[in-house]
Every structure is written in structure tokens, then in C-alpha cells.
Structure 1
């Protein structure tokens, strides 16, 4: 049954409300003025050029990119085995394990950030790479586990059983049969955990230092002390990057296939 015109109208209004702030930021990012004003006094690419020449923001961008890549790798290495156990194995406490791995998503990031600071500061890990990786993994691993659990569950168990009958050990069958079939989910999990880490702000505010800072934190600090369109240009650049990542996953494997729902 086709949706009614009223439902379509409500959906269109909802999308317009959600997209309107982004459209305003896009227009302001091309402002020729010196301040954040709408409508802009003119259009120019000057703030995109200023963004590229801002050494502090570019350094923070490199830090965030490296950090997000490390977090995505660690999240997959730790999350995939846990997801396999939850999706494919039957053992006491499986539900408890799944709940514990999802627990960080139920807590406010403000609480997580403060708790991490109190734990990591005495250990000398605050404002360090290991501390940031640990903090970001705390919120990234649950996403990896959720996606990989769905991807593993979608692989028919008969495939592993057939490999067992041909002499493969359970570990080899999982490695050679189940994991390749769940690879689209792994790609989606890697992209999502990369974006989660790259965009993490609150936890990073507690864990960064004067010599080690991430891009979201520097954006926050820049917006506090300066009110020019450079921050809008940076915001649109990050939105475009996130959209590009999503489109690439959709074009290469499709999100439905990526989460194991063919």
C-alpha cells in the first residue's frame, strides 16, 4: 500500500526541519564576511582557505584521523570475537556479556569522561595516546559488537557444520567460513567506529592535554574564542567527509548487506 499524501507531507516537513540547520551552516561557510551572520554579506571561499592554513586545526585533524584509525582497528580486534561468541555460541552468561558490552552506551559521556579521568590520571595515562585510545574504545566497541553480532548471526550455521564434517576445526571454520561471509559487517563496523572516535568530544575534553588534542576539542575551543565562518567551513568539511564514508559503504556493499540483513 502506498503512503498517503498526508504521510508524505509529514515526512517532507520532518526532513526539512532536520536539514535546515545544515543548509544554513553551508551558506554561512561560504560567507565573505568576518563574522557569523546570516544572510552573509557576500560569498567567498576564503574561510576554506583559512581552514587549510590553520596549523593548530590541521594538527588536531591529523591526530583525530590517526586516533580514529587505531580505535577502529582495536574495536574490530576486540569486538569481533565477542560478537562471534554472542551470535554463534551457547554458554551461560551470554546475555550478561551482551548487556555489559552495551552498558557504556547507556551512560552519559560526561560521566564516562569524568570516570576515565579519575582512573587514568593516577596511572599517568591522561593526555596520552593510550589514554585516548582506551577512552574512545569504551564507546566504539559496543557499536562494533552490535553490528558484528548481527552480521555473524546472518551467516547460516550449516556452513560451519559442513566445514566441520570436512575436517575443519571450529576455529578454522570460523576463520575461513564465517568471518569472510561477515566481512561486509566488519567494513560497516570499521567505518562506524572510525566516525564515532573521530567525532567524540566530551570524553576527549577530559583526556586531552596542551600537547595532544583532537579536532572536535579544538573546534569547541575555537568556537569559544572566535566567531568567524571558519568554524562553519570546518563543520561542512566534516559533514561532507562523513557523507562520503557512508556513500562509499553503501555503494560498495550496501548497508542492508553490511549488517547481515540480505
Structure 2
């Protein structure tokens, strides 16, 4: 009788261990931080209208958001957006807290040292915003001026190239709207940022006397979706979606641009 009980207990232990192994196997099928292959978590900085911003109902909306939703539908996965802010979203991607980030992020050689990127999905360039009565007419005219930018953006980078990496004449803020506010408050003579955001601000504030300046020295910049280094599965999935919405015209319909 005791012998039989030992075998019974052994059988129960084996069955329990088998169930535990199956549960572990299910957990390992998850994709990155999302917990599911069918849903990817996306970090953004929702202060960058019209690309990504909060609407009156507190939802994250914008051109970038519409593009990612179209990519997800084309490639057959779901997305959940989280508003991290500009600086924190880089750490979130690098640490695997999210699957990728969309936030008007220019594909840049320095960033490619730390992150992987999807194929380009948007083209932009820098634009100078100044008071209407200024004598500033070009980027070179900013050499002896104070310039506001959003910190660690390509706008910040080009202004550093003109004024110097440690220049006290660079006013670096957490968001582009704050950079513009610094200029309006007289703490900077000009603001430099992505053209889509600067033009959106001008459109939404017709009573503010401002003008924009394009400069031939500003090169075209291409936005990409930023992914943790080495996560080829997500990069391939995103590129699949981007390819499809380029081919069927959805991307041009959303952006109004032809993206190579």
C-alpha cells in the first residue's frame, strides 16, 4: 500500500511539472515588452503637433500616429501608444520597455549607434522661426544670437554646429512649444525646429507676428521608427507595413508626400 502511494505521488509531481513547463513555453512566445506577438507597445512624445499630440479628449493623435496605425493594419498587428516624453522614450526603447518609438525621429548616424530604425516614412527639414520685425534673414545670421531648440533633436544638433556644443546662446527646452515660448518671451532671438511643427504653430497662431525662414544649408531629414538594437523581428515587421502603405498609396494620402 505504501509502495502504491509513492507511485501516485510521483505521478502527481510529474504531471505538475509538465503543466509548469507548458506555462513557461507560453510565456516565452511573447514579443518584447508587449506581452503578445499581436500587439506592440509604442512610445511617443505627444507635444509635437501635427505629428503627435493630445487631442481635447486626451487621446494621442497626429500624422505619425495615423501612419503607425496604417503600418500596423497592413502588417497585421495591433499597437498601443504611450506618451513617454522626448528624452524618456529613448531609454524606454533601449531598455526594452516598449517595442518601438514614433516621434518624428530623424534617422541619424549617431542614433544608429544605439538603435535600429525602420525604412524612412517621412521627409522633413529644419525651419527658422523669428519675430516678424527681426533683421534675421538666414541661418548664418544666428551666429551672434540666442537660439531656442528642443533638446537633443536634429534642430539642436544643427544649432550646435553653428554656435558650438557648449554655447550659452543655445536655449534647449524639453519640448518644441516651450522653445517657441522662450523666443516669444524674449529669451531667444529665434527658434529652430522641424518644418511641420513650426508651420503648424504659425497656422494655429495667426495673431502672433511671426515669420519663417528656410535656409539652403538645411538638408532633408528622414523619419524612421526607432527600435531596440538587434530586434530584427520588429524592424522587419515595420518595414513590411511601410512597404505596403507606400505601394498602395496610403502613406502619400496621409502625408501628402512622395517618400522614396
Same fold (TM over 0.5): no
- Relative contact order, higher structure (CA 8 A, sep 6+): 1
TM-score (norm 1): 0.23
TM-score (norm 2): 0.23
Higher fraction of strand: 2
